[in-house]
Amino acid sequence: MTGDVAVATGDEVRPPQGSEPPAGQAGGGPGERGFTQVLIDAVTRGNSVVVTIAAFVLAIVVGGLIIAFTNTTVLHAWGNLFSAPGKAFAAAWDTASGAYTAMFEGAIVNPHAVSAAFHGGPISAVFNPLSETAVTATPIILSGLGVALAFRAGLFNIGAASQFIGGAMIAGWIGFAVHLPIVLHVVVAVIGGFVGGAAVGGFAGFLKARTGAHEVITTIMLNYVMEYLLIYLLGLTVFRRPGNPNPISPTIAKNAQLPHLFGANLRVNAGFLIALAAAAAVWLMLYRTTTGFQLRTVGSNPRAARSAGMRPERSWIIVMLVAGGLAGLAGASVVQGTNFDLAPLIWGTYNVYAITVALLGRASPVGTVLAGLLFGALRAGGVTMQASTQIPVDIVTVIQALIVLFVAAPPLMRAIFRFRAPRSGGEQLEARGWGG
């Protein structure tokens, strides 16, 4: 009769996936201790940094290929690939390396300026690229912190742009419409920036807490709403620069401008210090306050948070207020630090940068600062690159997206570069969905 089943000797069956890892795995959990220890860990933690560097290299290579093969000279040369292969490769290499050289000179240091300085040229020109990097990185770090902090509480804040605009609006208005004495003006304007951003972010958080509206959609919609609101406001006489038909606000008062750090020749200003201070404040909040503990718990496991007596809804509102405020500070830093007025293009591509920086920095304050500096450098360099080589600065966005994509898939990196698997469980972004 059918139905005999026999399983013969010598079976060695692999344990099911997800069975317990061997005891004694030090994962270096999130309960980080001293600030310096954190810094050291972030820089030296083996595999995570290696993967990031590898992703960076790979993204640079892919970016270089794109730059090269969208250049007409290179395409011509490759049309003659078989008759003059040397020229083809040289053309490709020249284009790509020229682009990256220009980027480097725009972001870090330009050797020509250095040699000129030795011959009596201006010293400030030597530090100009670094200054530009810092200036560019400031709003990126701040808005990146806004996204990163929200991540920690389990929220995906794509509305950094709307919060940025909210902050810029208030800071700008205080800057040109209100008159206050010297230190007070700039401080009040900065605080106004925080408040403006917090209002917009808090609204999205409130919607999520009360109605469950998914923050991805509401924040993106708010981006467009705030964009149009800004344009509308700039059309009103209250906001418009007298005598100028374009939608642009009056210049903000001198007293409201953020002071330069190293003299007027370098654009780097107090906003950079605000960014670093904000990162430290975020770290303190997350790891040294009860609110931060709540946020992290809610972000890691909202159900366990509830069972422990916490209320995720409250955490969401709080975190979106602070995150929005940080992005608002980014807006204020641009209005008060470099542009000195309010204009529609003001939010530019900051949203993109904020998200990619937060992802790259694994949503930790230190990581966000480092990633922000990196992307600030890329952007500052990109602007110079566009000016000198006509290569559009959008390629920087592509490279950033590639870096993040590659970093998000360590198995892919390992496959390409043949790394060993990391010791602890992967730092991959864990997949969740619409419903918890």
Q: Scanning residues 1 to 20, which ones bind another protein (CB under 8 A)?
A: 1-17, 19-20
Min separation Cβ 28 and another protein, Å: 7
Distance CA 375, CA 140 (A): 8
Cα–Cα dist 107/434, whole Å: 40
Distances, alpha carbon 157 to alpha carbons 195, 199, 208, 368, in Å: 17, 14, 11, 15
Q: Which stretch in 42-50, 109-117, 264-272, 333-341 sits in contact with another protein by CB under 8 A?
A: 42-50
Give the nearer residue to another protein in terms of CB position, either 118 or 434.
434
The footprint of another protein on residues 288-327 (CB under 8 A) is: 288-293, 296-297, 299-312
Query: Whole-number minimum distance, CB 105 to another protein, in Å?
Result: 20
Virtual torsion, Cα 192, 193, 194, 198, nearest 10 deg: 100
364 binds another protein (CB under 8 A): yes
Greatest alpha-carbon pair distance for the chain in Å reads: 101
Query: What mask of x and - would describe binding to another protein in positions 256 to 295, judged by CB under 8 A?
Result: -------------------------------xxxxxxx--
What's the rounded Cα separation, in Å, for the pair 281 and 299? Answer: 19
Q: Which residues contact 208 (CB under 8 A, 6 or more apart)?
A: 155, 214, 215, 218, 313, 316, 320
Of residues 415-434, those binding another protein (CB under 8 A): 424-425, 427-434
Query: Whose Cβ is closer to another protein: residue 241's or residue 311's?
Result: 311
Site size toward another protein (CB under 8 A) is: 120
* Rg of the chain on CA atoms, in Å: 25
Interface of this chain with another protein, residues 372 to 391, rule: CB under 8 A: 391
User: Among 174-182, 214-222, 269-277, 332-340, which window interacts with another protein (CB under 8 A)?
Assistant: 214-222
- The residue (of 154 and 250) whose beta carbon lies closer to another protein is 154
Site for another protein in 90-119 (CB under 8 A): none
Query: Could you say whether residue 23 binds another protein (CB under 8 A)?
Result: yes
CB of 83 to another protein, least distance (A): 25
Residues of this chain, 146-205, that bind another protein according to CB under 8 A: 151, 154-156, 158
The nearest distance, CB 256 to another protein, in angstroms, is: 26
Q: How far is CA 116 from CA 61, 103, 127, 128, 131, in A?
A: 32, 19, 12, 13, 18
Length of the chain: 436
CB 131 within 8 Å of CB 267:
yes
DSSP state of 214: -
Task: Candidates 191, 221, 261, 276: give the one binding another protein (CB under 8 A).
Answer: 221
Q: How far apart are CA 208 and CA 302, in angstroms?
A: 14
Q: How far apart are CA 123 and CA 230, in angstroms?
A: 39
Q: How many CA atoms lie within 13 A of 136 on its CB side?
A: 26
Contacts to another protein from residues 322-351, by CB under 8 A:
none
Q: Of 28 and 122, which has the nearer Cβ to another protein? A: 28
- In one-letter notation, the amino acid at residue 190 is V
Contacting another protein (CB under 8 A), which of 108, 216, 281, 343?
Answer: 216
Q: Which of 47, 110, 163, 356 binds another protein (CB under 8 A)?
A: 356
Instruction: Say whether residue 246 binds another protein (CB under 8 A).
Output: no
What does 148-188 look like in DSSP terms, one character per residue? HHHHHTT----THHHHHHHHHHHHHHHHHH----HHHHHHH
* Contact window for another protein (CB under 8 A) among 166-174, 254-262, 372-380, 398-406: 398-406
Q: Which is nearer to another protein, 184 or 308 (CB)?
A: 308
Residue 23 or 421 with smaller CB distance to another protein: 23
Selected from 44, 83, 211, 246, the binder of another protein by CB under 8 A is 211
Nearer to another protein, 111 or 394 (CB): 394
* Dihedral of alpha carbons 415, 417, 420, 421, sign: negative
Contact pattern from residue 45 through residue 64 relative to another protein, giving x for each residue in contact according to CB under 8 A and a dash for the rest: x--x----------------
Cα–Cα dist 173/47, whole Å: 47
Query: In terms of CB distance, is 206 or 262 closer to another protein?
Result: 206
Rounded to whole angstroms, how far apart are CA atoms 272 and 269? 6
Q: Which of 217, 238, 280, 416 binds another protein (CB under 8 A)?
A: 217
